[in-house]
Amino acid sequence: MKTFRKGGVHPPEYKLTAGRPILGMPVPAELRIMLSQSIGAPSRPVVKAGDSVSAGQIIAEAGGFVGAPIHSPVNGTVRKLEPTRTPQGIWQDSIVIATDMGNPGSASDTRRPEDEIMGLTPKEIVSIVGEAGIVGLGGAAFPTRVKLTLPEGKTASTVIINGAECEPCLTCDDALMRAEADKIVAGTLLIMKATGAPEGIIGIEENKPEAIAAMKEAAQEYANIRVEKLKKKYPQGGEKQLIYALTGKTVPAGGLPIETGCIVDNVATAYAIHDAVCNRQNLTERVVTVTGPDLKNPGNFIVRNGTPLSEIIDYAGGLPENTGKVIAGGPMMGRAISTLESSATKGLSGIVVLPKADSQRHKEGPCIRCGRCVAGCPMGLEPYLLMTLADNAMWNDMAAHDALSCLECGCCSYICPASRPILDLIKLGKQELRKKKQK
């Protein structure tokens, strides 16, 4: 079965919401929509306090080439523009919208005529994707318009759609593939047309048999798209790991996937592209997995951008009394949430509520030179060494040992028998290296 070559680990799945249908959340009375929701420059507001807005209307334009516009998820009134805290507690500018609860509205669903869709040029598809504010919905939130704009001299041979969802606990992609396979395949075809790639591959881990069956059925009439079953191994969904598993090609150190002729997008991104091109829908909502062993109503919910995190958790049954930590994303690559008064963004794939017993760090011990972190690293790095170099502020040595190639997947910390905070220190070191690079 197909997989990547180096490293990887096998954490327990904890897919408690696998098989649960996608449900729509109630519309919140107020939304706080942050202006930095993608890699790149924050968006610039084009509305002011007191303005009336309608669902799908642009409220912030892209702040630069690497950026994406933001649209209102509801009909309502702009109450104010003010800083709000991100889930990690960092202040960030936001637009606060009071929902018209009598007529909250929803995303536009005006089907574009079929002949018009078929007649769209690659440049027009990329333009629609950019105007819809679509970013990578697998977690990185890279503006999709930029990804579909090939660098001069580069050509795409393969579009890879990432349905691996190797992160424990999360099932939003699995649920979307089961429910909307046809639209994901249609979105894949649009990406292929936009980039000129003649081939499409949809990679899904073996632990999602229903999703694999649904996607195969949807793709069976297209000779240039195939669905591949992947071995269950973390981090199978990493771009470089997925490219190697499905094509045998290796992305060069410091290079981008296009160096191998591959374009990689998440299944939710392909779905959003279909809706933007075919149904004129801007990206204002997404499927989010809300899960935890003690939640009363865990599930996969359609969440509007700007919805308070506290309301999302309340819809899932409320915060259990024994909660020790709440994570945005999954337990391997997600980040702890410091305030539930923050709100959902385009990049939020899941909320994981952990009890105290499962959220405490074990006591750190000395490195026993077992080499497990080296064996587990999917990039072939030496995590124990990078940690030591970061701990001693040896930034040049970190750079020389290729620290910036670290995926931050957490395999090293997960597999360390001494419970050393390997990834924590590598992340700090990478921040310092980026600062030096910017200077």
Tokens 């070191």 found at: 429
Query: What strands lie across the sheet with 158-163, from one edge to the other?
Result: 225-230, 199-205, 158-163, 262-266
Q: For residue 234, give the 3-state DSSP assignment.
A: strand
pLDDT by residue (tens digit) across 293-305?
999 999 999 999 9
Percentage above 90 pLDDT, the chain: 92
Supply the pTM of this predicted model.
Answer: 0.95
Tokens 């396979």 found at: 181
Query: Are 51 and 310 spatial neighbours (Cβ–Cβ below 8 Å)?
Result: no
pLDDT by residue (tens digit) across 165-223?
999 999 999 999 999 999 999 999 999 999 999 999 999 999 999 999 999 999 999 99
The alpha carbon of residue 101 and the mean position of all alpha carbons in its chain are separated, in whole angstroms, by 30
- Following DSSP, what letter does each residue of 271-331 receive, concatenated? HHHHHHHHH---S-EEEEEEE-TT-SS-EEEEEETT-BHHHHHHHTT---TTEEEEEES-T
Mean pLDDT, to the nearest integer, of 391-404? 95
Query: Are 318 and 340 spatial neighbours (Cβ–Cβ below 8 Å)?
Result: no
Q: What is the model's pLDDT at position 108?
A: 64
Angle at 431 (CA atoms; ends 7, 249), nearest 5 degrees:
35
Q: How does strand 350-355 pair with strand 58-61?
A: unpaired
Tokens 């009071």 found at: 98
Q: What is the model's pLDDT at position 109?
A: 67
Pair of tokens at residue 130: 């950019």
Q: What is the model's pLDDT at position 1?
A: 86
Tokens 């973390």 found at: 234
